[in-house]
A and B are shown apart, each in its own frame.
Chain A
C-alpha cells in the first residue's frame, strides 16, 4: 500500500524557516510527482508546489513563490518542502500528496499532514 510519511509538527517564530519531509514508500518514486498543499484553520485546501522527482522540475504557487523550495531525493524516496520568511498566516497543516507526472493532476495518496505553527 502506497504510503507518504511526513515529519512531526513544528513551531517557529515569524521570519524563521521550516522544512517538512515526506517519505514515500511502496511505489516507484521517480514515476510520480509529489505536490505540497496546506489547510489553514477555517480555510480551503491550497496547492503550494509540485516536483517531478525524476528530473527535479518544480512549479510553485504565485502566493508563496520566492519563499518556497521543494526538493526530492530519489535515493531515499523522500521529498522536502522548505518555507522561508514565515508569517502568522502560514500556520496550517501541510500535506504532501502523490500525483501523476503531468501538468494537470489530482492527488491520489496523501501524507498524514504536518502542523506548522507560527507564533511569537
Chain B
C-alpha cells in the first residue's frame, strides 16, 4: 500500500503567517488523487481539498493545494485563528486508500 509521510510533524506559527505543509508518497499517485483534511480536537475530519488542488464547497480561498506525482503541498496563505488544527493528506489513487500521519499547526 502507498505510504504517505507528512512533514513537519508540528508547525508553530502566528495568526496571519503563511503555512506550508508537505505530503510525500512512497510511489506516484495516479491522476493526482490526493485529498487534504482538517481535524480539530473532538471533531471528525473535514474535507478541504480533493484532486490535489480542488477546494471543497465552502472552503476559504486561503487554502490551496498543489503538487503531483509523489510530492504534494497544502498552503494556508494567512493563518486565521480557526485554522489551528491537525491536517491529514489521503491518497485514493491506489487501493487501499491511505492517510498520512498528520501535521499539527499550533499557535506560536
Give A contacts to B, CB under 8 Å: 44-47, 61-62, 95, 97, 103-113
Contacts and interface: CB of A to CB of B under 8 A. Distances in A.
B74 to A, nearest CB: 14
A110 B45 contact: yes
Contact of A45 (B43, B92, B93, B99): B99
A46 B92 contact: no
Contacts of A109: 47
Interface residues of B, number: 22
A44 B98 CA distance: 9
Nearest to A60: B96
A46 B47 contact: no
Grouping DSSP codes into helix (H, G, I), strand (E, B) and loop, the A interface class, with mixed when no group exceeds half, is loop
27 contacts: A44-B101, A44-B102, A45-B45, A45-B90, A45-B99, A47-B96, A47-B98, A47-B99, A95-B44, A95-B45, A104-B33, A104-B92, A104-B95, A104-B97, A106-B35, A106-B47, A106-B97, A107-B35, A107-B90, A108-B50, A109-B47, A110-B44, A110-B45, A111-B44, A112-B43, A112-B44, A113-B44
Given A45-B88, A110-B46, 10 more contacts: A44-B88, A45-B90, A47-B99, A95-B45, A97-B44, A104-B33, A104-B93, A105-B97, A106-B50, A106-B97
B95 A103 contact: yes
Given A104-B33, A106-B90, A106-B92, A47 B97 contact: yes
